Chain A
Amino acid sequence: MGGPTIDLIVLGVSHKTAPVGVRERLAVVPEAMEGVLGELAALPSVREAALLSTCNRVEIYAAIDRDGDRAAQGLGEVLARRAGVTALELGAHLYERRDAEAVAHLFRVACSLDSLVLGEPQILGQTKQAHESAVRHGSAGAILNACFQGAFRVARRVRRETAIARNPVSVSSVAIELVRQVFGGFDRRQVLVVGAGKMSELAARTLRTHGATLTVTNRTRARADEMSVRYGAAVSDWSELPAALGVADIVIASTGAQRPVLTVEMLRQVQRARRGRPLFLLDIAVPRDVEPEAGKLDGIYLADIDDLQKVAAEHRDERKNEAADAEAIVAQELDRFLKAWRGRQLAPTVTALRAHVLGLAQAEAARTISAMPGLGERERRAIADLAESLAKKLLHAPQMALRNDDADDGVSLVVAVQRLFALEVAAAAPVEGDADRSEAPVAANVPDKKAAGR
């Protein structure tokens, strides 16, 4: 992928290269996006710009002209200024990719292959927002539109064809999935939170969003009262624990007690009154709050922190396996994308090359003829013909090479010729007239403002 293929650059920091202290200083809130994009797009050598800003990454995607180094320097300086550091200091955290590697990076980011939690679903939406925002503020053009549309397409394929985002990988989401397995959902489910510590609070917050009805019980009543106000939960007195267990469907135990607070004996009594109605105990305390033997009682299902972590770890491993398949899809789609891109560039490049060389020949012939005023019509015609025929002969081999170029050796002749002859080739319609166009934002074909000005 070494050669020039597409004039794209990505410059940024991510959870892999920069600590949160750096990332938070670079983050761009939506309200400030317009100003920053305007600033980036106005830089010399930068033709289009988009900015992806999430908790884990801040990246600039820019279409650049031939002077990539000048563009990179300008973009880096804007970032450094925003972070309030020198470009040198920021340089230690900054990564830069160009051409096909930049496209590959964008594809991998959109597919969540570069995420902190592999396969997490938010990044695709955030990438879409970054593109939409660039389109809205007029800083996206043909190159960025094509690259982002390509990225969304790959992300959809990865989601459809691999299980990378299928199973939950955090302890809390595994717990929620297990509860769904037993009860189908949280709607109108009675959840009893035993203990009012930090973990309980976290669980309460998650469950609340899933529509569960919460009751909190804690040895120190005041803490339970506090939590009940915050999460709209009912409070049950610690002394009434067995009664509260009798009406609950799900119990989240997370006290700081050194000995189990939910004993087999207590649960046996409770379960007798429940007549086999299932009770799901999620023991997330260490040391454990529920006697392990309780899990053998009829209708009681028990999962402790190790069980949940084990499932989460297995799912993380699965995602790693799936990542290999996803990478293969990315490589395949990248190849397809670049081929399509080259195809788009070919015709205008050939036309531009011919116009350029023939124009030169004609101009030179005219100059020679005007320097020799004594020439007759025949001689003048002969000189003009010589120049044109020479130019056409010289053009023949490069034209054939361009048409037959599949860039398998890693160098795209189309871009090489554009650069060698300093050809200005306006980018054409979006890559591949495929169904993805339906997902393109309203203004997907905003003309490249700088190109239009040329």
Chain B
Amino acid sequence: MATLTALVIGVYALAATIYLGYLLGRSMSGGAVAERARAVGVAHAVLAAGVGLHLCDIGARCLHGVNPISSTPEAMSLVAFLIAAGYFLASLRYRLAAAGAFAVPAALASLVLARVVPAEADAPHMSSLGQVHILLAVIGVAVFALAAVLALLYLFEDRQLKRKQFERMMGRGTPLETLDRLALRCVSVGFPVFTVAIVTGAIWVARLGLLRQAAALRPEYLFALATWAAFGVLLIARVGAGWRGRRAAWLTLGGFGGAMLVVLTYFLRHAA
């Protein structure tokens, strides 16, 4: 299993390198154009292989009785898988090669984080409610991560346009409008999932009888609420007040930052 995980990490790293080269490589000069088109094809193929291997890795762990939502590291691996697979599927439909430079490193970081942190020594026996909570939280975080990737690319391209680096963008960027629209779609899907995750999480914690303890004020609960609030405000601002563009992108990144804090707090707690 460890070999398979190492292989997945290696393949993701390779795909991430190619995507980054695509985004940051020299502008359209000479034969670079044809080379770059080929690079995208290679990157997509490498990523597809990575996603396939990752699925095998998760499957193999399941066969060994390691449930993908049984612990924080396993859940992080699932987040990485969802980011990579979600990006890969979206890139089949949209011209999103530039977004790969953010999405694949994000999946890679998530997977590496999952594997460097030791699994909880004694994972508490989880009720089905707890499992539902973790699964929904994982999906929510992964979808928010994809939204953040799109927002990041939006800000990157916005900066290039503002600096009039037009020739660098031509032929390799994703249209700003597409990024904006897809990010909104991600948040619209992620928000209700994350909402249910928070509700089930609260009920789960209450059932465990932890609410009365001091643990009720654990920082991750507050970060989770802040994340939920940020995405809620974003949705209201976008759908209600028609917010678009940079402001929406920054708010998406802010919300995702909150989600990252939740995840990191869990990690620090378990690593401690």
Contact = CB atoms under 8 A, between A and B. Distances in A.
B141 to A, nearest CB: 26
Q: Decide if the interface of chain B is mainly helix, strand, loop or mixed.
A: helix
A411 interface: no
Contact of B171 (A167, A274, A276, A325): A167
B244 interface: yes
A321 B241 CA distance: 50
A295 B164 CA distance: 10
Contacts of B248: 276
A381 interface: no
Contacts of B246: 276, 298-299
B171 A166 contact: yes
Contact of B166 (A185, A275, A307): A307
Nearest to A161: B34
A185 B166 CA distance: 16
B31 A163 contact: yes
B33 A163 contact: yes
B176 A183 contact: yes
Given A181-B170, A184-B178, A321-B30, A295 B245 contact: no
Contact of A311 (B32, B170, B247): B170
Nearest to B180: A278
A277 interface: yes
Nearest to B242: A275
B175 to A, nearest CB: 4
Given A161-B34, A322-B30, A325-B31, A182 B175 contact: yes
A318 B30 contact: yes
Contacts of A274: 244
B47 to A, nearest CB: 23
A418 interface: no
Interface string A174-216: 1001101111110000000000000000000000000000000
Contact of B175 (A162, A180, A275, A298): A180
Interface in A314-342: 314-315, 318, 321-322, 325
A318 B28 contact: yes
Contacts of A277: 242, 244-245
B29 interface: yes
Interface in B162-210: 162, 164, 166-167, 169-171, 173, 175-178
A322 B31 contact: yes
A274 B244 CA distance: 9
Nearest to A296: B162
A314 B33 CA distance: 14
Interface in B12-70: 28-34
B156 interface: no
Given A181-B170, A184-B175, A311-B166, A276 B28 contact: no
Contact of B247 (A276, A295, A318): A276
Contact of B34 (A162, A275, A295): A162
Interface residues of A, number: 35
B244 A321 contact: no
Contacts of A177: 170
Chain B, interface size: which category? Answer: 20 to 34
Nearest to B238: A275
Which residue of A182, A299, A325 has the most chain B CB atoms within 10 A of its CB atom?
A182
A299 B249 CA distance: 12
A238 interface: no
A416 interface: no
A314 B178 CA distance: 27
B29 A321 contact: yes
Nearest to A160: B34
Nearest to B161: A301
Contacts of B243: 275-276
A278 B170 contact: no
Nearest to A317: B29
A301 B244 CA distance: 14
Contacts of B162: 295-296, 301
Which residue of B169, B177, B243, B248 has the most chain A CB atoms within 10 A of its CB atom?
B177
Contacts of B31: 161-163, 322, 325
Contacts of B32: 163
Contact of B28 (A166, A178, A185, A303): A166
Contacts of A310: 167
B242 A182 contact: no
Contacts of A185: 175
B33 A299 contact: no
B178 A275 contact: no
B175 A181 contact: yes
A314 B177 contact: no
B171 A275 contact: no
Nearest to A274: B244
Nearest to B175: A184
A299 B177 contact: no
Interface of A: 160-163, 166-167, 174, 177-178, 180-185, 274-278, 295-296, 298-299, 301, 303, 307, 310-311, 314-315, 318, 321-322, 325
Given A276-B245, A314-B167, 13 more contacts: A163-B28, A163-B33, A163-B34, A167-B171, A183-B176, A184-B175, A185-B175, A275-B244, A276-B248, A277-B245, A295-B164, A299-B244, A321-B29
Q: Which 9 A-B pairs have the closest CB atoms?
A: A276-B245, A184-B175, A163-B33, A276-B244, A277-B244, A299-B245, A301-B161, A276-B247, A182-B176
18 contacts: A163-B30, A163-B34, A167-B171, A181-B157, A182-B177, A183-B177, A185-B175, A274-B244, A276-B243, A276-B244, A277-B242, A278-B177, A278-B244, A299-B244, A299-B245, A301-B162, A315-B167, A322-B31
